[in-house]
Structure 1
Amino acid sequence: MMVSEKTLHEDIIEKAWADEKFRQQLHSNPKQALREAFGITIPDHIRVRTFEEQQNDYVLVIPPNPSKVNYDVNCGPWRN
């Protein structure tokens, strides 16, 4: 069963809230953290960055314009 990116994103956040060791590893080595916790292997050419919002922060992530990116928007840029 394929999990949607939204559900996966929510699962990662919930695990980071509940598991301090995972949260720290997510910041220090996100690819390894995601592989170990969720079985996700992210290719070397994809950079993963984490940023933890604080109470008075609002982070707005602007994704690439789909018309300018060469990937299937239904499966993400790094999934095979």
Structure 2
Amino acid sequence: MGVDVATMSEWQHVWIQAVQKAWADDAFALELKSDPRAALSKHYNFEVPEHMHFQVVEQKDLPKGEHSCLTLALPPKPNEKDYKIKTASLEEATAKNCCGHPCC
């Protein structure tokens, strides 16, 4: 039930576009908040995996001190033989899939 690197890369691209559209289009912002799965599917042909809990709220509407929550699954440690290959793959994916946020 995991999400692959390609899906995460696509998600980053779609989310940036959706935020920009929501800033420019109040009707889309309402649609995104009321049914984010349908909005992302309709406007960006992006399907949020059904097993993922997903909602969109405006940052100003979060209670003070509360932040968005994202649960990430840490994959099992690869065996010693595969460790260098897996590490190199992760580093390559990270280098190619920066979201453009200042933290990257």
**TM class by smaller structure:** 0.5 to 0.7
Partner Cα separation in structure 1 for residue 19 and residue 65 of structure 2? 16
Bigger-Rg structure (1/2): 2
Partner of 1:77: none
Distance 1:40 1:6, change over 3 A: closer
Name the TM-score, length of structure 1 as normaliser: 0.61
Partner of 2:39: 33
Partner of 2:59: 53
Partner Cα separation in structure 1 for residue 71 and residue 54 of structure 2? 15
List aligned pairs for 1:1-80, cutoff 5 A.
Answer: 4=9, 5-54=11-60, 60-67=67-74
CA contact (8 A) 1:15 1:22 kept: yes
Q: Aligned pairs, how many?
A: 69
Structure 1: which 5+ runs fail to align? Answer: 75-80
Partner Cα separation in structure 2 for residue 45 and residue 39 of structure 1? 18
CA contact (8 A) 2:14 2:46 kept: no
When you count helix as a share of all residues, which structure comes out higher?
2
Partner Cα separation in structure 2 for residue 41 and residue 68 of structure 1? 23
Partner Cα separation in structure 2 for residue 36 and residue 53 of structure 1? 23
Report which structure shows greater RCO (CA 8 Å, sep ≥6).
Answer: 2
Shift of 1:51: 1.3
